[in-house]
Each structure stands twice: as C-alpha cells, then as structure tokens.
Amino acid sequence: MLYRRFGKTELPLSVFSFGAMRFLESEENAVLTVREAIRLGINHLETARGYGKSEQYLGAAFRAGVARHQVYVTTKIPPTPDRDTMRRHIEDSLGRMGIEHIDNFDLHGINTPELLELSLRKGGCLAAVREAMQEGLIGHLGFSTHGPLEVILAAINTDEFESVNLHYYYFNQHNAPAIALAHARDMGVFIISPTDKGGQLFQPPVLLEQITAPHTPIAINHRFLLADPRIHTLSLGAASPAEFAAHMTVADQDGPLSDEEKAIFAHLNSRYAEVPDLCGQCYLCLPCPENIHIPEVLRLRNLARAFEMNDFARYRYAMFENAGHWFPGNKANKCTECGDCLPRCPMGLNIPALLGETHDMLYQGERKRLWGD
C-alpha cells in the first residue's frame, strides 16, 4: 500500500481509503470489513453523520479491538443553520464512534452557493468546528462536494479548508480545474467513489473490459487517478471484506503511466471520436430554463455510445429529479424545445433532439441516492 501526504494536513494517508457507507449488513460484517481494510494497509476510514449506522459500526470496530492509533478517521456533517446544532452534531459523531478526536472533519455536501454561504456565515456552524479544533476534538477541516465546479472553486478560494472530497474520474474530468486549484493551495485531494460513481466499473460492459485488457476497468481508472501526484487518496466503498481485492492490484503502483497504460487511454480516448454528435462537455449551454443539466445528460449519452456503458448511464439518469442538490436537474423529457441553449453550443448540436434520444435510451424509472446527506 502506498501512502501520500494529504496536502497541508500532513496526514500520511493510504492511497485507498475505506468509505464506510455500504458495510451495514450487520455489526459483525462491519467489524470484519474494517479489519480487512487495515490488514491491507488502509489507514483512513471515512464515514458521515448521514450514513445510517456507519459511525456506530466504526465505533463497534474500535470496541472490538481495532487500534484507534492505527487509523485516521474522517467524518462528515452537513452545514447547519447555527453553531449550537453543529456542536451537538460533532458531539453525537464522537459519541457514536466512541472516540475522542476526529482526525479530519468535512463539511458535507457543499453543493450550492447557498450551502457555501451557510457554511461560512459568521458565528455559524464553522465557528463550532473551529472551537472543536481548538479543544482538540477535530484535527483538520475539509469539505465534500457533489456541486458545480464554480461552487467547488469558490469553496477552495475561501482558504478555510485543508482538503476537498470531490468527483473526478477518467470518465468524468469536468472538475479538473478544482484538482489544479486544490493542488496550488496545497490541499488534500480525496476522490469520492471512483469505482461506483466513476462508472460502476465493478460490472463493466464487455467492450470496456476488452479495451482495458490485460487490466480491469477498475484498475485503469485507479491508475488514471493515482498516476497524478496531485491526488492523494481514493474512496473504496466496500460492503464486505471480499470487496477490497479488486482494487489491490494497483495499491503499490506509483509513478507515471506506463507505455501500455498510455496505449489503453489512447484507445479509450479514440472511442469518443466515433460518437455521432458527441457533447464536448464545455457547459456553455447552461442554464436551461427547465433546469435540465444538459451536459450531464449528454455525458451519460457519450458513455453509452462510446463504451456501451448503458447500465451505468441508466443508473445515474434515474437519479435526476430524485436526489435534490446531490444530483441536480430535471430529466431530459422536460425539454420544451425553447431553443435558448442552441446558440450557446459551440459544436452546433441539436440539443433538444439529443436530449430526446437520451431519454428514450436511458429512462427506466426513478432512483434515490443511497443516503440523503
């Protein structure tokens, strides 16, 4: 297992973190999963107030003998309207985990300008976090986000945070400027769910397996991320001890991409050129008066057309209108063909037609997020 300095926090984190949001089948399974993570060299456990019994089960692992000093713990709490509520929530988390110190605390889900404003409000929730830091209850402060790039950049630019937990994968590189800015500020960079949100790579289409052979799509995406020294740790949301194995082939691979890996990425990149009416992901078409997240809808179309990632695209598409600010936007069939977006598209795409095609291809019903916050 490789370890990287988590930016200015100076924490030496393993390049894989255990994301404890899916190990909730039973307390026994949770303890075994934590033990396996540690046996593999993972030293960073990440949870959240909103992940059901996750904090409680981490507490069970500590009570069952997992050495507290062997791991760094991150928990995440959404911004609260006032200081006292945040204080209570921090104490709740400490109590559930049965620990006296949170190594790294993330304000969870800074997804909108309003939530960023709420986070920074004078005398508000951040004051409670700072107070807890002075008392030694919290070591470092970061933020997690599923929000638009502008919000992420604005949050980084506040200089309040030492790390950022965000989406960035081979199949979704829109947040690249946030990676660059976080690096320039010497912040820790923690990637959310690269295997699931990064493309459900644990159940890839045959075409993708063929292109990435002799490696797996999971390993190739990890290499894309870990060949970049600006990125420090990737979350693995294992539900059981056996689920770590698929990731460990690259846990010790450091350094730039090999010639073989470069050839695989060249092949992957070349598939995009085959897609008729490929969306270039420039985001210039926004805003849409019907609140359709045009680039994200068309990114899913790109993936389905280029890599036959229809299952992943359907899974994500079903979350539009069902996940609030965690995955904003209406489904593509809400397009009224008003034409507002058309002159803004530098590629001259017939956006309403592409949205209609994508809805027909991907709509199979509705789906909620695993956790609300």
List contacts with ligand SF4 (CB under 6 A): 279-285, 288-290, 292, 294-295, 298, 335-341, 344-345, 347, 349, 351-352, 355
How far apart are CB 283 and ligand SF4 at their closest, in Å? 5
How far apart are CB 211 and ligand SF4 at their closest, in Å? 24
How far apart are CB 287 and ligand SF4 at their closest, in Å? 8
C-beta closer to ligand SF4: residue 52 or 356: 356
How far apart are CB 351 and ligand SF4 at their closest, in Å? 5
How far apart are CB 274 and ligand SF4 at their closest, in Å? 17
Q: Which residues, 6+ apart, have CB-to-CB distance to 286 below 8 Å?
A: 293, 294, 295, 341
How far apart are CB 297 and ligand SF4 at their closest, in Å? 9
C-beta closer to ligand SF4: residue 103 or 296: 296
Rounded to an integer, what distance in angstroms lies between the CA atom of residue 237 and that of residue 16? 10
C-beta closer to ligand SF4: residue 160 or 340: 340
C-beta closer to ligand SF4: residue 21 or 297: 297
How far apart are CB 276 and ligand SF4 at their closest, in Å? 13
C-beta closer to ligand SF4: residue 185 or 344: 344
C-beta closer to ligand SF4: residue 29 or 281: 281
How far apart are CB 311 and ligand SF4 at their closest, in Å? 23
C-beta closer to ligand SF4: residue 51 or 307: 307
Rounded to an integer, what distance in angstroms lies between the CA atom of residue 97 and that of residue 57? 7
How far apart are CB 309 and ligand SF4 at their closest, in Å? 18
CA angle 313, 199, 210 (to 5 degrees): 100
**Count of other CB atoms within 10 angstroms of residue 339:** 9
C-beta closer to ligand SF4: residue 187 or 294: 294
C-beta closer to ligand SF4: residue 49 or 331: 331
Rounded to an integer, what distance in angstroms lies between the CA atom of residue 141 and that of residue 126? 10
